[in-house]
Amino acid sequence: MSSTVFETPPEMVPISGANPYWPYVAGARQVMYTGNLSQFVVVDGRTIKRQQSGLERELARGTFSHKFPSKAVVKAVIPRLTSTKFGDSFDINPLDLVIFEDYDTKRLDVIELTKFHVMHQHYGFQFEFDTDVYDKLVPGARIDKDVTIARSPAVTEQGDYMYGLETNVCMISDPAGTEDGVKYSRTYANRIRSDGFEMRTISCGRTHYPANIYGTENLYQPLPEIGQKIHSNGLICAQRPYSEKYDAMYMTRKQLLKPVYGLDTTVFGIPEATVVDIRVMHNDRLSNPRMPEEMSRQFRKYYEADKRFYINLIRTCLCRKGGQMSDDVDLSPRLWEMLYEAIARAGESLIEEGLWPKSRGELLRIMKNYRGEVLDEWRVDIIYQYKTAIGEGPKVTDTAGGKGVGSAVVEDEDMPVDQYGNRADVVIFSNSTVNRLNNGRQHELVVGAAGRDIIKRIRRTYGLPDTGEIPTNVIKHAVCMQDNQVLSMKNFAYLMGFYKMVSPKMHGILSRPETIPQGRHLSHLIKVIEDGAQPWGLFLHIPANSGVRMDTVINEIKNGPYCPEMSVVTYRNLAGEMVTTKQPCLIGPNYYMALEKTATDWSGQSSSKLGPFGTPARLTNADKYSSPGRETVTKTAGESEERNMAAAMGGDWIAEMNDMNNNPVVHREACDVILTHETPTNIPQLIDRKKFPLGGHRPLQYVIHNLVVSGKNISRADPEQRERDLRVPI
């Protein structure tokens, strides 16, 4: 076997070298994989990759974390939400500020210890804090540079990068695999769930007041509190307009406990999601606030807590001379930026706290704007966390750029299983590897399956079960007992033969002269047997520049003592029948990532919301979350798209589509027919064009009107109709 065919200098290994089999993947798919590294989401069932190239740990160093940028002396830790004068406490504190002094420069700086990390409109994760370090963050504590306080949950304490999950794959021809579809088992669908975060915003006070949706007759609570769940219908808030005519009816304690659909402006979110943060802005400069004080009690609780947070920040950083603020303190740019915001948020409360001279109080009396408009009396952001849905849609990919879209989720017992008990987590199309020229993923599957069955064979020699967890003391007794010394040497030699073929690097490390005298071979055997608790094969270090010819390795595995167990597989087909393949199919592990595709943002609806001119209404922030499903359409066809569709299907189809969406009369007729027809999924003719001829929608009427007033007319293509039109005086 040649060891130099694919040998690459370490500095020339691309990022796609995180896949040990990158030389066997087409360039386009390698680029796709590296792009996917910035799109994956942290999933619940994340695992350490079992076949690593060594680049994984380097990638892990670039993940999001909270760490000290320099050697520091802690000055203060300021929580954002604590107990307030309202007597309430908060279940979740989303932020701590650590104010520290740089040990060398004496400059004050800040670390924002956010509990959650969100840089996506849907996805994020919750940091994992090192409690030993976090508990040491007290005034006066000295912390070294690069000490990590919190890290991404995708990184282990040892620095391993869990950016995906090991997945048992079966490559067969299945309807669910058509057009790059992927079929999941129910258990696997649970494993690829991740945390979603979204925000909803309400603004009220001048024209609307919030209904008491989450309260009781004795407690006014318009919103779920931090730590509480959103109602099962997804309703977060209902805002009711002030009305001299109807306030006597709809502003009673009983009527305020439920929404009045059609009257209230509603805001919906994900049902049963947990609220993790509430941010409140208050315009206290309005001359005539309208909202009753009891209605604003919940808002004011968060507003006052935030104000106390900002006051504490100012007192910690600027109060160095007799309790008054001083601006000659050396602060980092980020800390100055936060202090400017804190002064604006705290406002005249700084005078009450003795932190701002009364003579300069006018500087604190500012009119609060939001995007150029005067802020309403209350503006509230509600941030909530939820688990992504289990079902069809989410995208996954392997490390060879083999993307696919979830097309079906079936019960575990319906997934392919071979005669040795190996059950697939996902099913993909067998020919997709050939179509994409990414043979590396098949190499990974074969090597992983071979390692899995090597562990089984070793376990059998000690009389241990093939799969599942085994107590460590039981394994140690079996491997180290006097009667099994020869057997353990034989098993270690069996392992070493596989390492020499697949991973010369590992073979070189374990074949050192001191390995056996020091008993390291027994420790390694014990660890290998423990790794068999999950059916994902051996942990292997295969450097991206190892130079091993994997095509030769695969042939040697196939024809030697390391050949994985393979048989025909049995699964349930679309007809509900249990069927068995005619040819043997290998079920083996690939490392998969879940990508940032939600598959929950539906853009289709039975009937779109229309604007005042009869055309589909434009999607706005006010409309986006006003109902559980979106009532406004997305742009589905522009000029270029319609030209292509017309070339494929003809102009009549385009005219029909546009008329049905833009003609209010025809639009209403289509809805009525669908809702009242005896067979709504089998309607011979949706619109009777003799009764509703084409050409009546309003945008076309505007054009005709402009032409007529300028002395022109539109005639039909029919010669007889054209002749009749010519006789009509303009």
| pLDDT, tens digit, 9 for 90 and up, residues 344-357 | 888 888 888 888 88
Residues 474 and 559 in one domain: yes
pLDDT at 68: 95
- 253 pLDDT higher than 70: yes
Q: Are 237 and 202 in contact (CB under 8 A)?
A: yes
Q: Is 14 part of a structural domain of the chain?
A: yes
Query: How much of the chain, in percent, has pLDDT values that exceed 90?
Result: 58
Positive/negative CA dihedral, 56, 119, 347, 278: negative
Q: Is 173 part of a structural domain of the chain?
A: yes
Residues 437 and 506 in one domain: yes
Residues 48 and 185 in one domain: yes
Q: Which among 470, 471, 460, 467 has a CA at the least distance from the CA of 423?
A: 467
Residues 559 and 690 in one domain: no
Residues 530 and 653 in one domain: no
The alpha carbons of the chain give a radius of gyration, in whole angstroms, of 33
Residues 452 and 400 in one domain: yes
Q: Are 76 and 316 in contact (CB under 8 A)?
A: yes
Residues 438 and 515 in one domain: yes
How many domains does the chain divide into?
Answer: 2
Tens digits of residue pLDDT in 264-275: 999 999 999 999
Q: Is 372 part of a structural domain of the chain?
A: no
Q: Is 689 part of a structural domain of the chain?
A: yes
Residues 575 and 713 in one domain: no
Tens digits of residue pLDDT in 422-434: 999 999 998 888 8
pLDDT at 698: 65
- 69-83, 209-223, 521-535: which has the minimum mean pLDDT? 69-83
715 pLDDT band, cuts 50/70/90, is low
Tokens of residue 348, six digits: 């005249």
pLDDT at 495: 96
Q: Say which DSSP state 34 is in.
A: H
Residues 549 and 470 in one domain: yes
With b meaning 16 or more CB within 10 Å and e meaning fewer, what string describes 367-395?
ebeeeeeebbbbbbebbbbbebebebebb
Q: Which residues pair with 321 in a beta bridge?
A: 324
**Pairing mode, strands 274-282 and 319-321:** unpaired
- 621 pLDDT higher than 50: yes
Q: Is 690 part of a structural domain of the chain?
A: yes
Tens digits of residue pLDDT in 467-521: 999 999 999 999 999 999 999 999 999 999 999 999 999 999 999 999 999 999 9
- 128-142, 590-604, 656-670: which has the minimum mean pLDDT? 590-604
5 pLDDT band, cuts 50/70/90, is very low
Q: From edge to edge, which strands make up the β-sheet containing 108-114?
A: 108-114, 95-102, 72-79, 142-143
- Name residue 476's amino acid: K
Q: Which residues pair with 79 in a beta bridge?
A: 96
SS3 at position 78:
strand
Q: Is 267 part of a structural domain of the chain?
A: no
Task: Please enumerate, as own/partner, the contacts of 13-17 that have beta carbons within 8 Å and a separation of 24 or more.
Answer: 13/55, 13/544, 13/545, 15/55, 15/59, 17/53, 17/55, 17/544, 17/545
Residues 513 and 417 in one domain: yes
Q: Are 307 and 353 in contact (CB under 8 A)?
A: no
Residues 581 and 631 in one domain: no
Among 540, 573, 592, the domain-final residue is: 592
- 4 pLDDT higher than 50: no
* Count of residues in the chain: 730
- 225-229, 668-672, 720-724: which has the minimum mean pLDDT? 720-724
Tokens of residue 177, six digits: 């695999």
Instruction: Report the CATH number that the domain containing residue 444 is assigned in CATH.
Output: 2.40.270.10
Give the domain extent around 489.
Answer: 10-58+165-192+392-592
Residues 583 and 625 in one domain: no
Among 575, 592, 609, the domain-final residue is: 592
SS3 at position 62:
coil
Tens digits of residue pLDDT in 53-105: 989 999 999 899 999 999 999 999 999 987 544 456 788 899 999 999 999 99
Q: Are 299 and 380 in contact (CB under 8 A)?
A: yes
Q: Is 25 part of a structural domain of the chain?
A: yes
- Name residue 635's amino acid: K
Query: How much of the chain, in percent, has pLDDT values that exceed 70?
Result: 89
pLDDT at 656: 84
pLDDT at 430: 85
- 2 pLDDT higher than 90: no
pLDDT at 719: 59
Q: Is 217 part of a structural domain of the chain?
A: no
Mean of the per-residue pLDDT values of the chain: 87
Among 552, 573, 592, the domain-final residue is: 592
Q: Are 238 and 210 in contact (CB under 8 A)?
A: yes
Q: How many CB atoms lie within 10 A of CB 352?
A: 11
Q: Are 418 and 569 in contact (CB under 8 A)?
A: yes
